[in-house]
């Protein structure tokens, strides 16, 4: 009788082992080059978030949540952060937050340009799309395999995995956002003599911002999930709390980690979702809100609010 195990004649594991050994040996500079910026940004973020006093972090987070989203989200953010501190996992939570913010920075720096490139070139999109499909259908857990092989274990390789997992939605949404800009808008740009660059910056990108922010929300959530999973390859943070709790059969500790993760995830989701929400009560375009933040400063907030209140039309429906 033929047994399934009899068919196991391909020593694939050995091949891959050899292949990876070869790659690790010969392409080491490449992986170092990939690792370096990740490490740099991550170290900076961890340093900042760990060094800034607890109250200052809460204050900044609440302010951001208020200005970018709404007062309700700001209240929730404050309560959630205090709760995390009360659970005794503040430092771990800040490490996780560093992993996520680093992922946001790097994904935005890499993903948005790739997305723009894909939107402008069907050929590039034809190459990138299947890769994204594979990346997004791969379970997050499986990402760890190549990462460990190529980058080793620890927080920085963990961050590489987070960035890799989190980038696809942003690329996809950027591409989609730009392609969805109405042809008449693009034609208007062309008819008035826009160069390709002007068309992108004056017409396509501003109109794609809401969609891109939707992608950012997806990226943040994926990064959140991944930042927990990478505890398995030795990355620090809330994931490690859960993992340790499970390892020691310390259910209480694992639950504490879990609760903190949920709280942090909800805060991030609320804030980024509000950013992308079209015309909702608190939905304001990110750029304008940031500009208002910078221009008015915390002392003249009322003015800033008044300005942004009139100005949420970026996302108003296209037939208006």
Partner 1 sequence: MLAAGAKKSEVLTKTGMVVGLNDVSLSVQSGAIYMVMGLSGSGKSTLARCINRLNEPSAGRILLDGQDIVAAGEAELRDIRRTRISMVFQHFALLPNRTVAENAEFGLKLQGVSPQVRRRRAEEVLSIVGLARWGNHYPHELSGGMRQRVGLARALATDADVLIMDEAFSALDPLIRTEMQDELLRLQRTLKKTILFITHDFQEALKLGTRIAIMADGELVREGTPQSIVLDPGSDYVAAFTREVDRSRLFDARSAMSPVQPVPLTAGLCLAETGDGGGLVLDDGGHVVGVLDAETLRGLREGKPYGDANFGTLRKDFVTVRECDSLLDAARAHRAGRPMAVVDEEGRLTGTLAGDRILAGIASAPPHPAGGLHA
**What's the number of CA atoms in the CB half-sphere (13 Å) around residue 144?**
17
Binding to partner 1 in span 201-230, by CB under 8 A: 202-203, 206-207, 209
Minimum gap (Å) between residue 200 Cβ and partner 1: 12
H helix or E strand, kind and range, residue 91: helix 90-120
Per rule CB under 8 A, is residue 292 in the interface with partner 1? Answer: no
Minimum gap (Å) between residue 185 Cβ and partner 1: 5
Of the candidate spans 16-24, 25-33, 111-119, 183-191, the one that interacts with partner 1 by CB under 8 A turns out to be 183-191
Exactly one of 50, 91, 136, 316 binds partner 1 (CB under 8 A); that residue is 316
Minimum gap (Å) between residue 122 Cβ and partner 1: 18
Q: How far apart are CA 276 and CA 198, in angstroms?
A: 24
Q: Which residues contact 46 (CB under 8 A, 6 or more apart)?
A: 94, 95, 98
Exactly one of 124, 190, 225, 259 binds partner 1 (CB under 8 A); that residue is 190
Per rule CB under 8 A, is residue 136 in the interface with partner 1? Answer: no
List Cα–Cα distances, 146 to 20, 28, 32, 149, 154, in angstroms: 9, 14, 15, 5, 14
Per rule CB under 8 A, is residue 286 in the interface with partner 1? Answer: no
Exactly one of 43, 138, 140, 198 binds partner 1 (CB under 8 A); that residue is 198
Exactly one of 86, 188, 251, 300 binds partner 1 (CB under 8 A); that residue is 188
The CA R_g of the chain, rounded to the nearest whole Å, is 22
Joined tokens for residue 67: 């200005």
Q: Per residue in 70-107, is it b (16+ CB within 10 Å) or e — as a string? A: beebbebbbebbeebbebebbebbbbbbbbbbbbbbbb
Per rule CB under 8 A, is residue 197 in the interface with partner 1? Answer: no
Residues forming contacts to partner 1 in the complex (CB under 8 A) are 182, 184-185, 187-195, 198, 202-203, 206-207, 209, 285, 310-311, 313-316, 318-320
């Amino acid at each position: 009788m033929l047994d399934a195990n009899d068919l196991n004649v391909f020593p694939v594991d050995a091949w891959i082992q050899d292949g990876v050994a070869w790659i690790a040996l010969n392409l080491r500079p490449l992986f170092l080059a990939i690792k370096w910026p990740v490490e740099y940004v991550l170290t900076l973020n961890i340093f900042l978030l760990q060094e800034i006093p607890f109250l200052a972090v809460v204050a900044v987070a609440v302010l951001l949540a208020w200005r970018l989203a709404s007062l309700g989200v700001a209240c929730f953010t404050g309560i959630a952060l205090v709760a995390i501190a009360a659970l005794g996992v503040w430092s771990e939570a800040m490490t996780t937050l560093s992993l996520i913010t680093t992922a946001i920075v790097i994904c935005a720096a890499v993903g948005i340009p790739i997305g723009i490139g894909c939107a402008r070139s069907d050929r590039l999109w034809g190459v990138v799309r299947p890769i994204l499909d594979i990346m997004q259908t791969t379970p997050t857990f499986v990402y760890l395999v190549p990462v460990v092989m190529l980058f080793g274990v620890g927080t920085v390789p963990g961050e590489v995995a987070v960035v890799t997992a989190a980038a696809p939605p942003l690329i996809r949404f950027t591409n989609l956002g730009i392609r969805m800009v109405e042809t008449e808008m693009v034609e208007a740009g062309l008819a008035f003599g826009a160069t390709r660059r002007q068309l992108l910056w004056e017409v396509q990108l501003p109109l794609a911002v809401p969609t891109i922010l939707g992608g950012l929300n997806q990226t943040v959530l994926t990064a959140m999930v991944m930042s927990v999973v990478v505890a398995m390859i030795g990355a620090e943070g809330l994931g490690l709390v859960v993992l340790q709790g499970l390892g020691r059969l310390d259910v209480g500790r694992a639950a504490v980690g879990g609760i903190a993760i949920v709280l942090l995830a909800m805060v991030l989701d609320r804030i980024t979702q509000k950013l992308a929400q079209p015309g909702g009560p608190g939905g304001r375009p990110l750029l304008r809100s940031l500009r208002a933040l910078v221009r008015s400063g915390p002392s003249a907030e009322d003015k800033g609010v008044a300005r942004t209140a009139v100005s949420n039309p970026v996302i108003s429906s296209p037939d208006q």
